[in-house]
Chains A and B, each alone.
Chain A
Amino acid sequence: MTDPTLDWTQQISGWLAGTDIELLELRGPGTRLRLKRNGSIRSNGSDDTVQNGTAAGSSAQVVRAGSVGVLLHAHPLRREPLVRPGDAVRAGQALALLQLGAVLLAVAAPRDGVVKRLLAAHGSTVGYGTPLVELE
């Protein structure tokens, strides 16, 4: 292999070791590099979504960040949070927002449920795959 990006993976892996980032994905024309925290390195993968982890034997579901960003529990125009623990939510409803510069990405509920816990603080910078909200 002569792909120069592979020369960087060692360095990037070293940096990632000091963070709670679980997965790093780099994309360019025709190439895709994915670094997963458990050590496996995979390139040219086709999976584009973070799978929502479902705890075995329970109905709880952790909704994870689908992007890097600053986590917002309330829309910047509003004082009220989007959801509070105990709120019933419907599939597709926004549970939180991830801000990347001027852009706000909604973190949508994958299914109907009740918000059990908010797992990351308002205003915190989160990585791809960071647990954000627990639904039950």
Chain B
Amino acid sequence: MIEILTVGALTTVQDLGRLGALRWGVGTAGAMDPMALAAGNLLLGNERGSAAIEVQVYPFRVRFTHDGAFAVTGADCAATLDGLPVLPWSAHRVRAGQELAFSVPQAGGRWRASRAYLCLPGGVDVPEVLHSRSTQLRGAFGGFEGRPLRRGDVLRSAASGAEFIASDIGLLPPALAMPLERDGCTAIRALPAAEYGRFTSASCVGFWRNEWKVTPHSDRYGFRLAGEALQRAAPMEMRSHGIVPGVVQVPPDGQPIVQMRDAQPSGGYPKFATVIEADLWRLGQAPIGSRVRFIETTWDEALAAQAELEAWLVEAERLVGLHRNSRGTA
């Protein structure tokens, strides 16, 4: 069990998302960086999609009330355990009473990211709602009491972690293993979407050529980007229609909004592009104020990118398992 000692806004329990509920108007929610969530779980020997704590505002501090284990992944937030450094993307044993602290991710590292994950043995033990433990903020259900975490909250892990033996093991972050940059910016692959052809040809070129700034109005619901406005070739009025995370909408001001994990399930703005599922974690980690670029891709390349992530996770799971087994036979 852990007790929350210090917590900022919108720290939530998330898993890989509530898939299959859009038909009831329920959005997917889930970790903004599903690769980090899965990696943290693999390090602990959990199921990949076990629930974890997503931190996006710092500092964040918890106290462990029992002996056990934990893993930290995502943004490098210079974590410490009772003041001693904890390496990013690693798993550790912990004793009752120890305090784990995250501080603001520093800009000087080799990967600028914004969200950190704390994984616990067996996952955070909260009830499953519609087949997921993710916090659905709009509907106020799922996760921990359907709300962000507060100081004093006590969360259980589904397993004790007492049998955890692979301490001091870590993973090379996928952002370094599979980097994607263009002209010094994080690059995100996307497909042209339904109304792409109804924008001016200059805008269709500019979207892929220009940099886009992640504005402060970017959160789990959507990333509002700022750059050279995307112009419609003719006025467009649309009825509301279904949308999913990754859809790039363009409101009348021409500044695109990328739908993220807490996106509502319908919208009425024209859809210019769709960020491929395999790259949503890259955007989900892009800090406010950073710049991103879009790379036009194809359906086949999008599937290949997803397969590459899957292969990375399978290999990471295999290597972590080998290490755990070799320690286990001692």
Asked if B170 and A49 make an inter-chain contact with CB atoms under 8 angstroms apart, the answer reads: no
Q: Judge whether A101 is part of the interface by a CB distance below 8 angstroms.
A: yes
Residues 166-185 of B contacting A (Cβ, < 8 Å): 168-173, 176-177
Q: Which secondary structure characterizes the binding site on chain A?
A: loop
Docked pose: A82 CA to B27 CA in angstroms: 42
Give B313's nearest chain A residue, CB to CB: A102
Q: Judge whether A132 is part of the interface by a CB distance below 8 angstroms.
A: no
| Binary A-proximity of B299-330 (CB < 8 A = 1, otherwise 0) | 00000000000001001100110010011011
| Contact for A77 among B109, B316, B330, CB less than 8 A | B109
Q: Which residues of chain A have C-beta atoms less than 8 A from B176's C-beta?
A: 76-77
Whole-angstrom distance between the Cβ of A90 and the nearest chain B Cβ: 6
| Contact for B171 among A27, A92, A103, A106, CB less than 8 A | A103
Asked if A77 and B111 make an inter-chain contact with CB atoms under 8 angstroms apart, the answer reads: yes
Chain B: interface residue total (CB-CB under 8 A): 29
Known contacts A78-B109, A101-B319; A27/B329 CB under 8 A: yes
Q: Judge whether A71 is part of the interface by a CB distance below 8 angstroms.
A: no
Asked if B109 and A102 make an inter-chain contact with CB atoms under 8 angstroms apart, the answer reads: no
| Binary B-proximity of A86-100 (CB < 8 A = 1, otherwise 0) | 000010111001011
Give A101's nearest chain B residue, CB to CB: B319
Q: Judge whether B54 is part of the interface by a CB distance below 8 angstroms.
A: no
Asked if A104 and B169 make an inter-chain contact with CB atoms under 8 angstroms apart, the answer reads: yes
Q: Judge whether A48 is part of the interface by a CB distance below 8 angstroms.
A: yes
Docked pose: A99 CA to B177 CA in angstroms: 12
Please, could you name 7 A-B residue pairs with CB atoms under 8 Å apart, sorted by A? A78-B76, A78-B109, A93-B84, A97-B170, A101-B319, A103-B170, A103-B171
Binding site for B on A (CB under 8 A): 27, 48-49, 75-79, 90, 92-94, 97, 99-106, 108
Binding site for A on B (CB under 8 A): 76, 84-85, 87-90, 108-111, 168-173, 176-177, 312, 315-316, 319-320, 323, 326-327, 329-330
